[in-house]
Structure 1
């Protein structure tokens, strides 16, 4: 009987049919990938594929559209996304639209304008984690633009800075109004000379 604490880190092995379901490919396509050397596997019956190798394959296949300017002509070019291997859940555009409560056209535009990486194919698939990362990054930038929440310490400090800036401006205006008659008198003298 084995002790639960003495288990070793064995790789999670998947059948070819399971890999086909995860990648949303046919089994023939997975076989083709294996035989071309793009997807590592363990020989035997049944053919087994390590989940870590599958994650590396998905990370290497992700692409992103990038706007490139060559001379005076601008066009989109597809480049590797250079993402790190990680657990994934691939979604089609329509599934992503349902999952994230967005129109399918919006998900499509995110892919077309290079905001999120995707796996090319018919249909193109998108990693759920990439969409989550894009949406959280977008939320952070929005929060940075809108400023701190009312009532927070940062908000109070920003309000104080605004009041001080307004007071400095008023003092400058008052000082300028005091000096203005002298400035105008000097300007009139220079004009008469």
Structure 2
């Protein structure tokens, strides 16, 4: 019985280590700072603005990536929307080419938002922007980080399940 419990203990230790390594790898990939490609640039675009019935207005932003591959610029000093009251609706992964309607910002009153992207600052102003045609399809809500957050949460839940399984193992199988 001693030999069996020792084997079970080793297997549990290996499984726990594997789960922790997987969690660390996922967290590391999500936390990696993105870098712009040296052979291309990413610039913000103001596609158009929509005047809403309640007096507010919505700025529709897009971008142009001249690199031949996707560029990741996480939300932060090189990719932010100001004032901060608008949150962080902007994308963090920029596919090659020109992409219209990447995200929107609705302004209730006052000055419009400014998108600071990789060294370029683009201000949205109601009176100086092109009005969106009535057929303009607004982009979906979100900035693409939902999948990353879900993966991180799944990793944490997995680590907790492994830990709980270790605690509940019968004493004859090497448990506490």
The TM-score with structure 2 as length reference comes to: 0.27
Considering fraction of residues, name the structure with more helix. 1
| Bigger Rg, structure 1 or 2 | 1
Which of 1 and 2 has higher RCO (CA within 8 Å, sep 6+)?
2
The TM-score with structure 1 as length reference comes to: 0.25
